[in-house]
């Protein structure tokens, strides 16, 4: 249940509305937006006297919210959420943010070289996996703690905030200390224990869509993190599994529009994992920006042919630079609000 206050309501009217809702046994979330102030009921609103609330002075209207996600719901928070990654680098709002870097951190020269190159081309954050969720136990599993240390070196060299994937709750404390944005991969989107623990951290969480997840399941995973107390969730569409095998996944760009309408959280697109083919990355990135994505996360490798992971979908720093040169034109004619 959501209560929309009238423009010009008084503080007393706001308090009365909150108290009346609380009498029905719910907690009240107040969202002061640019145009409206909204009171969102947390918990079961069945015992809130809807008619009584709707007749209170200062109340414009009362809406039932049928969706199971509340904190992630745009009805509870009409304005776009803007998330600070680190020291003023933001995602969300009417500005495009591009995160780039290799699938995996491989060595110092590689990660620092790529970080410097993508920064020069306009990336606002560096990605790089240190703990890798690989299909085969015999494949490169990532550099682990040493990879995190190298990411920190790359940050020291470039100033770029670092984004990296967490796989286990065992690493939460270390990630909280050492990284700027914690990525939850597609395979862990419904690892509810992990999501609950991440809800207690202060770091932004980049939540990838599970490979077979519906939009509602994805938003419910965001809700898990937000219900735990961390409202800094960035959604990432990275393609879903369909009957098609030519591409690694099927990039669901309509989901970008859907989640932007349903939720106030920023949405970024990962064209690399969606397509699995480097030659598709540029045009799918442009399409994602045209669809209104708040940002992109792109795999860039200095030597894709010899990459230890996901070389086939990685573009070179030079290709990334060309792509970045084309995005501004598209971004400038798209209205990201819905």
Site of interaction with ligand PEP (CB under 6 A): 103, 129, 133, 185-187, 208, 238, 270, 273
Calculate the dihedral angle through the C-alpha atoms of 84, 104, 228, 213, rounding to the nearest 10 degrees.
Answer: 110
* 95, two tokens: 């500005």
* Least distance to ligand PEP, CB of residue 251, Å: 12
C-beta separation of 58 from 9 below 8 A: yes
Q: How many Å apart are CA 135 and CA 139, to the nearest integer?
A: 8
Give 129 or 147: the residue with its C-beta nearer to ligand PEP: 129
Give 17 or 103: the residue with its C-beta nearer to Mn ion: 103
Q: Give, as ranges, the residues between 291 and 310 that touch Mn ion (CB under 5 A).
A: 310
* Least distance to ligand PEP, CB of residue 304, Å: 14
* Least distance to Mn ion, CB of residue 254, Å: 23
* Least distance to ligand PEP, CB of residue 101, Å: 10
Give 24 or 102: the residue with its C-beta nearer to ligand PEP: 102
Q: How many Å apart are CA 288 and CA 326, to the nearest integer?
A: 13
Q: Give, as ranges, the residues between 64 and 103 that touch Mn ion (CB under 5 A).
A: 103
Q: Under DSSP, is residue 231 helix (H, G, I), strand (E, B) or coil?
A: coil
Give the residue nearest to Mn ion (CB). Answer: 103
Calculate the dihedral angle through the C-alpha atoms of 263, 173, 228, 165, rounding to the nearest 10 degrees.
Answer: 30
Q: How many Å apart are CA 29 and CA 91, to the nearest integer?
A: 23
Binding-site partner at residue 238 among Mn ion, ligand PEP, none, CB < 5 to 8 Å by type? ligand PEP
Binding-site partner at residue 232 among ligand PEP, Mn ion, none, CB < 5 to 8 Å by type? none
Give the residue nearest to ligand PEP (CB). Answer: 185
C-beta separation of 224 from 199 below 8 A: yes
C-beta separation of 267 from 235 below 8 A: yes
Q: Which residues are within 8 A (CB) of 101 and not within 5 positions of it... i.e. 6 or more apart? A: 111, 114, 115, 118, 123, 126, 127, 128, 163, 299, 300
Binding-site partner at residue 186 among ligand PEP, Mn ion, none, CB < 5 to 8 Å by type? ligand PEP
Binding-site partner at residue 134 among Mn ion, ligand PEP, none, CB < 5 to 8 Å by type? none
Enumerate binding residues for Mn ion (CB under 5 A).
103, 310
């Amino acid at each position: 249940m959501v209560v929309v206050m009238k423009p010009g309501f008084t503080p007393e009217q706001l308090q009365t509305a909150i108290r009346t809702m609380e009498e029905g046994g719910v907690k009240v979330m107040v969202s002061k937006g640019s145009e409206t102030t909204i009171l969102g009921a947390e918990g079961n609103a069945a015992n809130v006297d809807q008619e009584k609330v709707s007749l209170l002075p200062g109340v414009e209207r009362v809406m039932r919210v049928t969706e199971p996600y509340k904190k992630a719901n745009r009805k509870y928070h009409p304005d776009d959420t803007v998330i600070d990654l680190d020291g003023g680098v933001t995602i969300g709002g009417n500005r495009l943010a591009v995160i780039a870097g290799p699938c995996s951190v491989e060595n110092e020269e590689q990660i620092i070289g790529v970080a410097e190159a993508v920064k020069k081309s306009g990336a606002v954050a560096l990605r790089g996996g240190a703990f890798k969720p690989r299909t085969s136990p015999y494949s490169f599993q990532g550099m682990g703690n040493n990879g995190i240390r190298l990411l920190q070196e790359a940050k020291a060299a470039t100033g770029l905030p670092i984004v990296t994937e967490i796989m286990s709750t065992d690493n939460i404390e270390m990630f909280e200390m050492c990284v700027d944005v914690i990525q939850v991969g597609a395979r862990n989107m419904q690892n509810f224990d992990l999501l609950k623990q991440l809800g207690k951290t202060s770091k932004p969480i980049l939540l990838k869509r599970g490979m077979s997840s519906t939009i509602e399941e994805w938003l419910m995973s965001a809700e898990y993190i937000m219900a735990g107390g961390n409202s800094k969730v960035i959604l990432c569409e990275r393609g879903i599994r369909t009957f098609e095998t030519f591409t690694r996944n099927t990039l669901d760009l309509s989901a970008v529009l859907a989640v932007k309408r349903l939720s106030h959280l920023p949405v970024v697109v990962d064209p690399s994992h969606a397509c699995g083919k480097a030659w598709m990355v540029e045009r799918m990135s442009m399409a994602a920006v045209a669809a209104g994505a708040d940002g992109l996360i792109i795999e860039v490798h200095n030597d894709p042919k010899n990459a230890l992971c996901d070389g086939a979908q990685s573009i070179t720093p030079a290709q990334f630079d060309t792509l970045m040169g084309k995005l501004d034109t598209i971004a400038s004619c798209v209205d990201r609000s819905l």
